[in-house]
Structure 1
């Protein structure tokens, strides 16, 4: 019985930490076109015309997103971003809830070209 309770407790704690660390405080945007793309020191900053949900408290520049193009993930997202922009296609953005890539701009967790 004690083993069952310990196992159940471990599962509960693991499940709770996954839920707590989810994108609960991240923002997202509806499909929108990309504009005002800036590349600075390996970071990509851009805006979209999509409607955005509430941004995290670190967000200082309304509507702006950041990608770290020095990583493989960031390079793939930047490539998709440029492709969408060149084709005039909208993108959907999901943020990370933090401004890790640029101090006053939410980092992008993923983007989609619908």
Structure 2
């Protein structure tokens, strides 16, 4: 019995954590001069599965100076300018800022 519980606990522990997810149009896109922070809000479906640290509805580009961060920012600008919807999935972390989930990927949708 103990062995079964141990195996079950190990299996549950190894499952990937859920991350936040949301689909909508870019409603607000902000870039701060003081620290380069890029964060944004979506208008559309409600954000789901966010980690406990993500107490606000905005999303954070985790590293705006990286190649990926620059590409994500460009994609958000294009989506906002065109009015296209995006799907955002988070990393289940709040490393860039303590109360907003870091972005894992952004997918541009064909409305």
**Fold in common (TM above 0.5):** yes
Matches within 5 A, 1:1-114: 20=15, 22=16, 24-30=17-23, 32-40=24-32, 41-51=35-45, 52-61=47-56, 63-67=57-61, 68-114=63-109
Q: Number of matched residues? A: 93
**Distance across 2 between alignment mates of 1:90 and 1:43:** 22
Q: Which protein is richer in helix relative to its size? A: 1
Deviations 1:36-95, CA, capped at 9 Å, x for gaps: 21112222110001322131100121x210002111111100001101111111110000
TM-score of the pair, normalised by structure 1: 0.75
Aligned match of 2:4 = none
Consecutive unaligned residues in structure 2, runs of 5 or more: 1-10
C-alpha distance in 2, partners of 1:50/1:102?
Answer: 23
Q: Measure the CA separation in 1 of the matches of 2:49 and 2:18.
A: 8
When Rg is computed on C-alpha atoms for both structures, the one with the higher figure is 1
Structure 1 contact 43–70 (Cα < 8 Å) conserved: no
The unaligned stretches of length 5 or more in structure 1 are 1-15
- Computed over aligned residues only, the root mean square deviation of the Cα atoms, in angstroms, reads 1.5
